[in-house]
Amino acid sequence: MRIDVVTLFPELFEVPLRTSIIGRALERGLVSVDVHDLRAHGLGRHRSVDDYPYGGGAGMILRPEPLAAAIDPLREVGALVVLLDPAGERLTDRLARELAGVAHLALVCGRYEGLDERARGSLVDREVSIGDYVLTGGELPALVLIDAVARLVPGVIEAESHESDSFATGLLEHPQYTRPESFRGMEVPAVLLSGHHAEVARWRRRESLRRTLLRRPDLLQAADLSDEDRRMLDELSRA
């Protein structure tokens, strides 16, 4: 998978892209990330990339010309151009899995009050938001998207690991335990020490249903539930 990033702050990508799982994915060539400095396409001797909003108002707007100069070459080689923006479609596990299937992504990081609308309309294929709050820039959202997508690329992490993810199953993940068996008087549930894989699987499914029912009942509508699941949910909601 190839990812290009257009940003005014390339330095924000240095450390995250050479750290841990994502860093190893780039080292192993499973994912490539090229970061492009929008300032390099700035206008005039001050290489300006922004200007005042027509019609007045606070803040500055990113000009279309530097954006076009940075994005056109990526569109020409077939990149799907994604703008990170609060007005975009919400990033979900489903959208991350869809984008993980795209060979070449170009992520555009907004700054200031955003982009000139003509750039958004003519240079951008999709808009993605990581949540209903406003950040100072699109760089952290771009890193969130890179992390969410890259870990789904085959070989980056064990498939079993992301297939049992929260949301991949449509439910929140079950509680996890590791050594020691006893911690400050709190014990590991005996079923997890039993070796009965079917019992363990049933316990984990019930705990996923319980946590989802308590914290994200909205997810249950879309979740693919068996009759056994519905029986357990009835029991849990009566408890």
Give the residue numbers annotated as catalytic, written as ranges.
86, 113, 151, 165
- Rule CB under 6 A: say whether 141 interacts with ligand 4FV: yes
Shortest Cβ 46–ligand 4FV spacing (Å): 20
Among 133, 176, 226, 239, binds ligand 4FV (CB under 6 A): 133
63 touching ligand 4FV, by CB under 6 A: no
CB-count exposure of residue 126 (10 Å: 0-12, 13-18, 19+): middle
Binding of ligand 4FV by 134 (CB under 6 A): yes
Question: Among residues 5 and 209, whose Cβ is nearest to ligand 4FV?
Answer: 5
Residue 54 and residue 31: Cα distance in Å, rounded?
Answer: 40
Pair 79, 104: CB distance under 8 Å: yes
Q: Among residues 16, 64, 66, 110, which is the contact residue for ligand 4FV, using CB under 6 A? A: 110
Smallest CA-to-CA distance from 49 within 9, 86, 82, 3 is with 9
Closest to ligand 4FV by CB, 82 or 213 = 82
Q: Give the residue carrying structure tokens 């703008």.
A: 83
**CB 9 to ligand 4FV: min, Å:** 11
**Stretch of residues binding ligand 4FV (CB under 6 A), selected from 44-52, 84-92, 186-194, 216-224:** 84-92
Cα separation, 186 vs 179, in Å, equals 12
Pick 36 or 111: Cβ nearer ligand 4FV: 111
Which CB atom, from 134 or from 239, has the smaller least distance to ligand 4FV? 134
Residue nearest to ligand 4FV (CB): 110
Q: What is the 3-state secondary structure (H, E, C) of 59-101?
A: CCEECHHHHHHHHHHHHHCCCEEEEEEEEEEECCHHHHHHHCC
53 binds ligand 4FV (CB under 6 A): no
Q: Is 137 in the site for ligand 4FV (CB under 6 A)?
A: yes
Alpha carbon distance 64, 70 (integer Å): 10
Out of 138, 150, 151, 156, name the contact with ligand 4FV by CB under 6 A.
138
Which stretches of the chain are assigned E, i.e. beta strand?
Answer: 2-7, 32-37, 50-51, 61-62, 80-90, 104-109, 126-129, 182-183, 186-187
**Residue 111 interacting with ligand 4FV (CB under 6 A):** yes
Q: Which residues bind ligand 4FV (CB under 6 A)?
A: 84-86, 110-112, 114, 129-131, 133-135, 137-138, 141
